[in-house]
Amino acid sequence: MSVPVLEVHDLAFAYPDGHQALFGVDLHVHRGERVALLGPNGAGKTTLVLHLNGILAAGRGTVSVSGLPVAKEHLKEIRRRVGIVFQDPDDQLFLGTVRQDVAFGPANLGLKGAALDRRVMEALDRVGMADFVDRPPHHLSYGQRRRVAVATVLAMEPEILVLDEPSSNLDPASRRELADILRSLDVTVLMVTHDLPYALELCPRSVVLSRGVVVADRPTLEVLTDDELMGAHRLELPWGFDPRRIDSLPA
């Protein structure tokens, strides 16, 4: 196979208070994959994600993006390559209009004028929000704000899109619309989620993190139908949802 676009090797990390969150995580994601990162609360998922663009620095081990180490001297480029969409879109939308929010990142990289305008509109078009370009973000619905938050990251032309609980607090229509958008993107996706049906719908592969280590890395259907694995790591399917009866799986 090709060189992984994301490679994590023997990653360990402890917080200043002594809490050990990661104990030697190995993970590789190849270009174009959509991978779900699953696990119970406290498993270390957020800690792992914050290492991917250098918000946290490894205590032991390495993280690299397309062969470029995540290190202080490379942070500007790493943060362009790895775009994180946080769970609450209001953490990413803080300016007066949708246009200003989406332009903020590429403008900081030096893009300006017509090239900047084109980048903004292309990103908004990819998430179906081009008609809202001059609206204040706080006038949008929650689902619309989440799509604009995705656009702020896409405007940076990342190699990897990391999504933290992308389906949380969305109504069914917004949930479906976001799924359609994510399937349409030509970008590598790592999706942190407790929404196991969403993981099955969007991600052919799932990695299960528990107590700071990877305990499974398999096709998502295999993970969700392994009753022993699911029970041991506090993963529960919604009532009435049986992945064994799913006729079509993500490609």
36: closest CA among 166, 213, 186?
166
Give the mean pLDDT of 232-236. 94
Q: Bridge partners of 210? A: 213
Q: pLDDT-derived band of residue 249, with 50, 70 and 90 as boundaries? A: low
Q: How many Cβ atoms are within 10 Å of 121's Cβ, its own excluded?
A: 16
User: What tokens were used for 16?
Assistant: 């200043």
Q: Report whether 160 contacts 7 (CB < 8 A).
A: no
Tens of pLDDT, residue by residue over 22-42, are 999 999 999 999 999 999 998
Instruction: Name which of 69-78, 119-128, 196-205 the model is least confident about.
Output: 69-78
Q: What is the pLDDT of residue 230?
A: 95
Regarding pTM above 0.85, the answer is: yes
Q: pLDDT-derived band of residue 1, with 50, 70 and 90 as boundaries? A: low
Q: How many Cβ atoms are within 10 Å of 242's Cβ, its own excluded?
A: 9
In the numeric block, the tokens 């590429």 are attached to 106
Q: pLDDT-derived band of residue 106, with 50, 70 and 90 as boundaries? A: very high
Contacts of 29 (CB under 8 A, 6+ apart): 4, 5, 6, 7, 35, 160, 188, 190
Cα distance between residue 251 and residue 232, in whole Å = 28
Phi, psi of 159 (to 5 degrees): -85, -30
Cα distance between residue 208 and residue 45, in whole Å = 9
Cα 146 to chain centroid, rounded: 13
Q: What is the pLDDT of residue 250?
A: 54
Tens of pLDDT, residue by residue over 116-163, are 999 999 999 999 999 999 999 999 999 999 999 999 999 999 999 999
Does 2 have pLDDT greater than 80?
no
Contacts of 61 (CB under 8 A, 6+ apart): 8, 9, 10, 11, 12, 24, 25
Cα distance between residue 55 and residue 133, in whole Å = 29
Give the mean pLDDT of 41-64. 92
Q: Residue 35 is which amino acid?
A: V
Does 189 have pLDDT greater than 60?
yes
**Rg, C-alpha atoms of the chain:** 18
Q: What is the pLDDT of residue 3?
A: 76
Distance from the first to the final alpha carbon of the chain: 18
In the numeric block, the tokens 């989440």 are attached to 146
Tens of pLDDT, residue by residue over 12-22, are 999 999 999 99
Q: Bridge partners of 218? A: 206
Q: pLDDT-derived band of residue 251, with 50, 70 and 90 as boundaries? A: low
Q: What percent of the chain has pLDDT over 70?
A: 97
Q: Bridge partners of 7? A: 28, 64
For the domain 6-237, what is the CATH code? 3.40.50.300
